[in-house]
Amino acid sequence: RAPTIEQVDLFFRLINDPTKTPLLIHCGGGKGRACTMIACYLAIYGFQSPLAQEWTQPIMSANEAIDKLRQLRPGSIETEQQEGFVHTFVSTVWKRQAHLPSLPNEPEGIPLAIEGQLDANIDLIMLCGLPGSGKFYMAQMMLTRDDRWTINSQDETRSRDICEHELGRPGKYSKAILDRCNPDREDRKQWLAIAHWARKPICVYFDYDPTLCISRAQQRSDMYYMII
């Protein structure tokens, strides 16, 4: 299979950041998905570093980039889907007239709205919001300020069963943070039932523009969508 537009954009954003280089690009055999990304690089930047040029337009066509790459490494780009993706990506860059997509503006802050009464002895914090809304960052900052908290994150465990098992136990200090999207009331109700020990739970909803959340999530190279 081919990478996605967002994955190549993230790759380009990394190589345009001098603090993130050198980079290693690889896949299962090193000729398919990895070489698809390299062909995109050659088409957009040629054989120069992005930091060493004033970029105005793609240097090569998709066909030229694929041919150059196959001269250097025969067998590169293994499927028609991968070859077609290089054409799609180059076309995307021409249409947006930029080698990198513009990022949405980050808000300076949004007002905090509180419903109900806050108690000083909160024992369960359920974070609710889209990926990229800031749930993970908040959980980490809370743990930094008070190491009695335990973070339960399905993104980290990669397993709902493990997350349920961990949340079902109160832990040493009976203070837990549930880091999930928790999209609807019924879903949150199920998790509250699992945390049967919690007496003073609260829900924190991250009300950010979905466009901003998606953009943030797509910049996170440690997440699953960068695995090609």
Query: Does CATH place domain 124-212 in 3.40.50.300?
Result: yes
Q: Smallest Cα–Cα separation from 2: which of 78, 66, 71, 55?
A: 78
| Residue pLDDT, tens place only, 141-182 | 999 999 999 999 887 888 889 999 999 988 888 999 998 877
Report DSSP letters for 110-133, one per residue: ------S---TT--EEEEES-TTS
The residues carrying an active-site annotation are 27
Q: pTM for this structure? A: 0.65
Query: % helix / strand / coil in the chain, to the nearest 5?
Result: 45, 10, 45
The domains of the chain are located at 5-102, 124-212
- Output the CATH code of domain 5-102: 3.90.190.10
Asked whether residue 31 carries a pLDDT value surpassing 80, the answer given is: yes
- Cβ-count burial of 184 within 10 angstroms (0-12 exposed, 13-18 middle, 19+ buried)? exposed
What phi and psi, each to the nearest 5 degrees, are found at residue 152? -110, 110
Reported as a single tens digit per residue, the pLDDT across 99-138 is 988 888 888 877 888 888 888 899 999 999 888 888 999 9
